[in-house]
Amino acid sequence: MISPTMQDALNTQINIEQHSAQLYLAMSAHCAANSFKGFAHWLSVQASEETAHAAKLIQFLLDRGGRLQLRAVPAPAAEFGSVIEVMEKTLEHEKGITGKISALFELAREEKDYASEITLQWYVTEQVEEEANVGEIVAQLHAVGDKGGAIWYLDSKMGKRGA
Ligand code: FEO
């Protein structure tokens, strides 16, 4: 049985993952509206990943006999600026998520909740990957700038992201 403290913290993280999904969907729509179909695709796949992150935590919570308490998901913005700004915001957001996962991991340790700790290890690793991937995209965007042909080459590359 999961402790009330851990249950509450996991419910909070589920909400954060759902908010991430909403945020990336909004960013995807913003990119699509600005003809960056590749970035729109990449962000839509990212949104699906966030939904999967939430689903994985929900399943874990239920497997531990915990209670799911879904909360209101804050509405994301609708405007995100240039493609570079979109991806910089994505990187900042992911860094914030890494902090949340680290705090959750620390809580699991304090609570001696080994099952949560092991499950959260997956998220720790995932955050390393997410920050590295988005960081690389931001670096490439800074290298090419948001004008000229190279940005469209990057856009077509982003459109090839698999599910
Ligand atoms: Fe679920 Fe992108 O962190």
Residue 53 Cα to ligand 1 midpoint, Å, equals 7
Query: Range of 88's domain?
Result: 4-158
Q: Looking at ligand 1, which atom is closest to the CA of residue 130?
A: 2
pLDDT band, residue 22 (cuts 50/70/90): very high
Residue 127 Cα to ligand 1 midpoint, Å, equals 7
Least confident piece of the model among 16-30, 70-84, 97-111, 143-157: 143-157
In a domain, 163, yes or no: no
In the predicted structure, residue 72 carries a pLDDT above the cut 80: yes
In a domain, 118, yes or no: yes
Which residue CA neighbors atom 1 of ligand 1 most closely?
50
Q: How far is CA 71 from the centre of its chain?
A: 18
In a domain, 143, yes or no: yes
Query: Residue 73: which H helix or E strand, with range?
Result: none
pLDDT at site 149: 87
pLDDT at site 78: 84
What average pLDDT does the structure give for the chain? 96
CATH number at residue 37: 1.20.1260.10
In a domain, 70, yes or no: yes
Domain count, the chain: 1
Residue 21 Cα to ligand 1 midpoint, Å, equals 8
pLDDT band, residue 27 (cuts 50/70/90): very high
Secondary structure (H, E, C), the chain? CCCHHHHHHHHHHHHHHHHHHHHHHHHHHHHHHCCCHHHHHHHHHHHHHHHHHHHHHHHHHHHCCCCCCCCCCCCCCCCCCCHHHHHHHHHHHHHHHHHHHHHHHHHHHHCCCHHHHHHHHHHHHHHHHHHHHHHHHHHHHHHHCCCCHHHHHHHHHHCCCCC
Q: Looking at ligand 1, which atom is closest to the CA of residue 126?
A: 3
Residue 110 Cα to ligand 1 midpoint, Å, equals 23
Give tens-digit pLDDT for 134-160. Answer: 999 999 999 998 777 899 999 999 999
What mean pLDDT is predicted for residues 14-32? 98
Query: Residue 77: which H helix or E strand, with range?
Result: none
In the predicted structure, residue 163 carries a pLDDT above the cut 80: no
Residues with CB under 6 A from ligand 1: 17, 20, 50, 53, 94, 97, 130
pTM of the model: 0.95
